[in-house]
Amino acid sequence: MKKSVIIIEDNEDLLELEEFHLSSAGFDVIGFLSTKGVEQALEEEDVTLLVVDRNLPNAEGSEFVKTLRDKGYDMPVIFVTAKGSDKDIEEGFLRGGDDYLTKPFNMNELVLRAKARVARYLGVATQKIKYRNLVIDEDSKELSINGEYEKLTSLEFKLLLYLIKNRDRVVSRDELLEEVWKEDVGYKSVTMAVSRLKNKIEKREQYIEAVRGVGYKIC
């Protein structure tokens, strides 16, 4: 998985400086001067880190992060801000921050913290996975679509979770039988289970595509 970072910083000069240092450290960086367009980018990219100022023109940075957390986004967040009081720092962590740097700061320190946070994130299984309008909670075994809870059977949940985790490729029926069913019950069982799952989650838009003669792919 590539190391993609979104930076939200309203100071254009500082934004360019952060982009330069993080890009030089091997990150794919997308910069924003406000929160406008950030959620769309999160939908389109596999983002592994957010670097967020708190004093933004159209939203308070930590409040924006809290809305993202409530929607199921779980990538680490580093606040980089002039708000440096004990109360501000506590507020940042309570609203979903994972790390906190107060301005002025050392760019090398930002890079080191970014590397550490991303390495930890990519090395540990997440409790929630968000894909488009789906939020899958691995701990509670629950699925929400557009914020509304959708009841799945245990098999349907495991099937959806496996497809989502392997969404960059086609998953064969044989692989699903081996990894989800753990037994050879036949292709018909896979076809029927996928059909039931699609009926539950595709009331508004398609998520699962059948690849003829091979298996299924998240679309």
- Residue 145's CATH number: 1.10.10.10
Q: Are residues 185 and 116 in the same domain?
A: no
Q: Are residues 98 and 9 in the same domain?
A: yes
Instruction: Identify the pLDDT of residue 208.
Output: 94
Does the pTM surpass 0.85? The reply is no
Q: What share of the chain in percent tops pLDDT 90? A: 71
Q: How far is CA 32 from the centre of its chain?
A: 18
Q: Are residues 198 and 212 in the same domain?
A: yes
Residue closest to 200 by CA, chosen among 163, 148, 165: 148
Instruction: Identify the pLDDT of residue 60.
Output: 95
CATH number at residue 43: 3.40.50.2300
Instruction: Identify the pLDDT of residue 197.
Output: 94
Residue 1 has pLDDT above 70, yes or no: no
Q: Are residues 113 and 17 in the same domain?
A: yes
Residue 43 has pLDDT above 60, yes or no: yes
Residue 121 has pLDDT above 80, yes or no: yes
Are 191 and 215 spatial neighbours (Cβ–Cβ below 8 Å)? no
State pLDDT tens for residues 55-74.
998 899 999 999 999 888 98
Q: Are residues 119 and 135 in the same domain?
A: no
Q: Are residues 90 and 160 in the same domain?
A: no
Average predicted confidence (pLDDT) for the chain: 91
**Parent domain of 208:** 128-218
Q: Look at residues 123, 147, 167 and tell me which one is the last residue of a structural domain.
A: 123
Residue 136 CA to residue 117 CA, distance in Å, equals: 22
Q: Are residues 77 and 104 in the same domain?
A: yes
Q: Are residues 132 and 118 in the same domain?
A: no
Could you give the number of structural domains in the chain?
2
Q: Are residues 139 and 212 in the same domain?
A: yes
Residue 177 CA to residue 183 CA, distance in Å, equals: 6
Q: Are residues 13 and 118 in the same domain?
A: yes
State pLDDT tens for residues 163-201.
998 988 999 999 999 999 988 788 899 999 999 999 999
Confidence band, pLDDT 50/70/90 cuts, at residue 124: low
